[in-house]
A and B are shown apart, each in its own frame.
Chain A
Amino acid sequence: MTSVPQPVWLRHSDGSPVAASLVRGLNEQHIELWRAHWYPAREAALSKQAASGQKLPEHARWDWERKLRKVTGLLGFAGYAIECDGIPQGLMLLDLNQTAKVSKQKGKPLVYVQYVEVAPWNSELLVKPIRYRGVGSLLIRAAIERSIDEEFHGRVGLVALPQAEGFYRNTIGMTDLGPQLEAQGLRYFELTEAQAKAFVAKTGG
């Protein structure tokens, strides 16, 4: 079994490193922390944006409490958090029941990233400067490691919100399969075994 080495490292906005931990499996405490910290921070940032007439980010109203409760007890879903300062800095929900679409791995199982989000204070769409960088990459790295653990060879798929397309295409190195009718026209991205290996090597594998 592979694993992401602990601690994991985030960066302050000045580039200095900060130790964090990757938590596999989410529970009531994460829901409480989301409600106590993320929710008010997000609402404050959104009110500011709305007052200045800015367009709100696409994931502006994600409700993690509802998302997590919906899949409680299901083996096909797995939650992850990056924690620092005793608070989740990013959350991710994986679906382990999906299959690949890229032709050379079509029909083979993959880890599907159903939701991934960084805390409001780590999102450049909401605040500047952000508190910690690198949360999204660490979560995607965790999805790849889970895929390897499940014998899916690093295959990962996801539907990207428009503001995140560049991150998945350029930073992670995923294949862009274009807009998907069943995902309201959002673009589907997939990581092959070779692309997963390249990303792991790039991020200290």
Chain B
Amino acid sequence: MREKERAKKTMTLNLSDEEMSVVESLAREKDLSKTALIRQALRLYQAVDVRRARGDKLMVENDETKEKSELVLL
């Protein structure tokens, strides 16, 4: 679990206008740079993927109504 040396590697990301627009909008909303946003997205994706691989379902709950539903991912 020890983190590797925190040296960063650079990659080029090819996104459509629509995808870039979402990245920019989310980055603004979350107060993050685009790099930090992608890093955060990767953490979340891995967390979800590991749980699904274990057989867990991804559920979402409405904060007000407490209604729960399964988030279906392909």
Contacts and interface: CB of A to CB of B under 8 A. Distances in A.
Interface of A: 1, 24-27, 68, 71-76, 78-79, 96-97, 107-109, 150-151, 153
A64 B26 CA distance: 35
Nearest to A93: B1
A181 B47 CA distance: 24
Given A108-B30, A151-B32, A151-B33, A74 B50 contact: yes
B14 interface: no
Interface of B: 1-3, 6, 29-33, 36, 39-40, 42-44, 46-47, 50
A146 to B, nearest CB: 11
Q: Is the interface of B mostly helix, strand, loop or mixed?
A: helix
Nearest to A31: B1
B3 A78 contact: yes
B54 to A, nearest CB: 11
B1 A151 contact: no
A125 B22 CA distance: 50
B43 A96 contact: yes
B2 A27 contact: yes
Contact of B43 (A97, A107, A153): A97
Residue from B30, B31, B39 with most neighbouring chain A CB atoms (10 Å): B31
Nearest to B8: A1
Residue from B1, B6, B30, B40 with most neighbouring chain A CB atoms (10 Å): B1
B3 A24 contact: yes
